Amino acid sequence: MNFALPQFGRRSLVGLDVGSHSVKAVEISMKGKDKGFELRGLGVAEMPPESIVQGAFLNASAIVEAIREAVGSGGIKSKDVVAAVAGHSVIVKRVTLPAMSRPELEDQIQWEAEQYIPFDVNEVNLDFQILQESNVEGQMEVLLVAAKKDLIDDYCHVIREAGLNPVAVDVAAFAVENAYEMNYDLETERDQVIALVNIGAEVVNINVIQGGVPAFTRDITTGGNQYTEEIQKTVSISFEEAERLKIGDASAESSQDVVPQEVEHAIRSVTETVVGEISRSLDFFTATATESRIGKVLLCGGGARVSGFVESFRDRTGFEVDVMDPLVRMLPSKSFDPAFLAQVGPSLGVGIGLATRRIGA
């Protein structure tokens, strides 16, 4: 497992975002110096309900089929895949260690990790990123990452079964950071503290960026599926129909004996819960980083498309809140429907960020 800033190798990579709601497969290429990036391939395939539950792969064959469908429908040519992990099997901690060289840290990282992660270090893959070299006190700041080997093995297995080649596994929150860095002017925002919030179906990834590096990273077990389940329970419809109502699909509303006010109430109720969970995590960062204040929140993921979510988040927190567009600097080929890109764009933060990776980075 490894992670790095966006870089391009000679071959393009497929960013594969395997979520409990859908699979997104993205392939991009660099047009040349100062010429931007080209979206070469993009496919989205829905995942059958309960194929993945709380990070556990319960229906591997359905996951494999969804990966094949996303890659096939997206016109993707590359076989080399970068995937992302998140949730309770992934630990990210910013730690302070005695100053040492990178080779020394590589030798000692397993011992250091034992003090900070709640898992047996023999059961995880470890990685680190040096955030700050030796300071006047003889210490260094390091970002420590651990992911359970079983989780990574599950991802690699379904990727191989789909006929693809897994070359790297990243952390979902860092993939979103890659997409942000690729699409936004970092120089104008470097002095600002930016919170990147990716709202998936089951997990919300929070990554607070300060001075261009992660200052606070946390995954919360909540997300878009809560909306679907609450709508399903409130108006007694199928999961699939509730999914369409969640994002404001009028055809779902007109085809059923559905009271719009009941759906709106269900959505507002869940929004209050989800926004509250995220807000508490951001409050924790603010309380522990006494000299830092969040200047802007950028939302992405399917949950960011829920009607009224951005406004509720802004009202609850008082922050400047916007939806991140991971396609800002992307030049899509003529084969892509602009309406389709506008619809799925907010959900592509992880996939775009993964596709920017360079093999070996």
Which residue type is seen at 244?
R
Dmax (CA) of the chain: 68
pLDDT of 6 reads 41
Residue 154 in tokens: 């599950």
pLDDT of 325 reads 94
CB-based contacts of 342, cutoff 8 Å, min separation 6? none
CA distance 227 to 271: 8
pLDDT of 358 reads 59
Which residue type is seen at 43?
G
Q: How far is CA 16 from the centre of its chain?
A: 11
CB-based contacts of 261, cutoff 8 Å, min separation 6? none
pLDDT of 290 reads 72
This prediction's pTM = 0.91
pLDDT of 360 reads 42
- Residue-wise pLDDT tens digits, 6-23: 444 446 889 999 999 999
pLDDT of 34 reads 60
| Strand runs labelled E in the chain | 14-18, 22-30, 37-46, 52-53, 56-57, 80-85, 90-98, 124-132, 139-148, 165-171, 193-199, 204-210, 213-220, 294-300, 320-323, 330-332
Which residue type is seen at 200?
G
* Domains along the sequence of the chain with CATH: 1-184+328-361 (3.30.420.40), 185-324 (3.30.420.40)
- Residue-wise pLDDT tens digits, 15-67: 999 999 999 999 998 776 566 788 999 999 999 989 999 889 999 999 999 99
- Edge-to-edge strand list for the sheet holding 14-18: 165-171, 80-85, 14-18, 22-30, 37-46, 330-332
Residue 243 in tokens: 């999914």
pLDDT digits (tens), the chain, 361 positions: 454 334 444 468 899 999 999 999 999 987 765 667 889 999 999 999 899 998 899 999 999 999 999 999 999 999 999 999 999 999 999 999 999 999 999 999 999 899 999 999 999 999 999 998 877 788 999 999 999 999 999 999 999 999 999 999 999 999 999 999 988 887 777 778 999 999 999 999 999 999 889 999 999 999 999 999 999 899 888 888 888 888 776 555 545 567 888 989 999 999 999 999 999 999 999 998 877 889 999 999 999 989 899 999 999 999 999 999 999 888 887 788 889 999 999 999 999 999 987 544 4
Angle at 117 between CA 82 and CA 22, to 5 degrees: 35
